[in-house]
């Protein structure tokens, strides 16, 4: 069965979110939703998430899943916000525990908060699930982070998260704690071993001047044209390139608020006695 896919683009963070549902059915999944956040004022915005919610409601759809491809460092997840209004289960990799442990000291996480109880389901590699009558499969693709997943939905649609970008952009950075360029290379090779006509849906696009954002490509196109991982690029060459390139990159602007929210399924911190929610800024740590 072929899924129907609607893409939503957040221009501020260069992020694509998706609603995926069966043609003629009502069950759907929302993938990598975005909650707006203004770092200067500390204000959140649900404008983009509300566009997704409007699409779901206008189509008479019922949300079964809010799927996260990984713990994003460049935007806040709107999964908890959308779950509250639309229902559905928030799910991501079972290796979220590794990510929380990695950042437990930086954010002074209490032992109880290291348990991923705010997610409704944690996927293992190879796990299969349904979106209505649509078959879906979980593919573990570590490298960018330890907990990256790709979701294969139907026969020919794969949502790759930050593992791959468009061919003229290349690949994701691997210098975050727990990242590993060798693992990313192997993860990408696993994806590019899928049938050539398989459509790969991006989580981000950062187009050069003169090109509009594009949200999908194919296995064949990636194998022929990806500037970092096309056919013929060897592991050692990729690791060397990725290591040099990552050394020049700045941290994502929203990494500190994003990690705190996204490690907890998009839930904002609990309000203090004064009714205000607070995020922590660890000094001299990152």
Domains of the chain: 3-257 (3.60.15.10)
Mean pLDDT over 202-226 rounds to 95
In this model, does residue 120 exceed pLDDT 70?
Answer: yes
Three-state SS string over 203-243 comes to: CECCCCCCCCCCCEEEHHHHHHHCCCCCCCCCHHHHHHHHH
The reported pLDDT for the residue numbered 129 is 98
pLDDT band at 115 (very low <50, low <70, confident <90, very high): low
pLDDT band at 190 (very low <50, low <70, confident <90, very high): very high
**Burial tier of 268 (Cβ tally within 10 Å: 0-12, 13-18, 19+):** middle
In this model, does residue 160 exceed pLDDT 90?
Answer: yes
Q: Residue 130 belongs to what H/E stretch?
A: strand 128-131
The reported pLDDT for the residue numbered 208 is 87
The reported pLDDT for the residue numbered 110 is 76
Mean pLDDT over 26-31 rounds to 98
- For strands 149-153 and 128-131, give the pairing: unpaired
The reported pLDDT for the residue numbered 116 is 59
The reported pLDDT for the residue numbered 2 is 83
The reported pLDDT for the residue numbered 145 is 96
Handedness of CA 11, 31, 101, 260 (dihedral sign): positive
In this model, does residue 111 exceed pLDDT 80?
Answer: no
pLDDT band at 23 (very low <50, low <70, confident <90, very high): confident
Across the chain, mean pLDDT equals 95
Mean pLDDT over 272-284 rounds to 95
Q: How many CB atoms lie within 10 A of CB 271?
A: 10
The reported pLDDT for the residue numbered 210 is 87
The pTM score is 0.96
Mean pLDDT over 32-57 rounds to 97
In this model, does residue 113 exceed pLDDT 70?
Answer: no
Percent of the chain whose predicted confidence (pLDDT) is above 90: 90
The reported pLDDT for the residue numbered 38 is 96
In this model, does residue 1 exceed pLDDT 90?
Answer: no
Mean pLDDT over 16-26 rounds to 94
121-152 residue pLDDT tens: 999 999 999 999 999 999 999 999 999 999 99
Sheet holding 76-77, edge to edge: 43-45, 34-38, 76-77
In this model, does residue 35 exceed pLDDT 90?
Answer: yes
């Amino acid at each position: 069965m072929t899924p129907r896919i609607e893409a939503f683009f957040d221009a501020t963070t260069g992020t694509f979110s998706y609603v995926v549902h069966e043609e003629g059915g009502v069950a759907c999944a929302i993938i990598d939703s975005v909650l707006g956040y203004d770092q200067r004022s500390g204000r959140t915005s649900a404008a983009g998430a509300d566009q997704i919610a409007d699409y779901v409601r206008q189509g008479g759809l019922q949300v079964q899943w809010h799927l996260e491809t990984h713990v994003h460092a460049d935007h806040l997840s709107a999964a908890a916000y959308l779950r509250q209004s639309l229902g559905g289960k928030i799910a991501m990799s079972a290796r979220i525990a590794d990510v929380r442990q990695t950042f437990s000291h930086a954010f002074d996480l209490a032992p109880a908060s290291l348990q991923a109880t705010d997610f409704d389901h944690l996927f293992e590699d190879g796990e299969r699930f349904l979106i209505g009558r649509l078959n879906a499969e979980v593919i573990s693709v570590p490298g960018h982070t330890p907990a990256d997943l790709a979701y294969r939905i139907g026969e020919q649609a794969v949502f790759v998260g930050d593992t791959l970008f468009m061919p003229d952009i290349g690949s994701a950075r691997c210098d975050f704690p727990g990242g590993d360029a060798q693992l990313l290379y192997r993860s990408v090779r696993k994806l590019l071993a899928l049938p050539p006509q398989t459509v790969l849906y991006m989580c981000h696009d950062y187009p050069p001047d003169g090109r509009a954002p594009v949200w999908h490509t194919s296995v064949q196109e990636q194998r022929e044209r990806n500037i970092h991982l096309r056919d013929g690029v060897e592991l050692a060459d990729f690791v060397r390139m990725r290591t040099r390139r990552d050394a020049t990159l700045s941290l994502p602007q929203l990494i500190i608020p994003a990690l705190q929210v996204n490690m907890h399924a998009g839930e904002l911190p609990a309000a203090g006695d004064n009714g205000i929610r607070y995020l922590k800024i660890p000094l001299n740590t990152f």
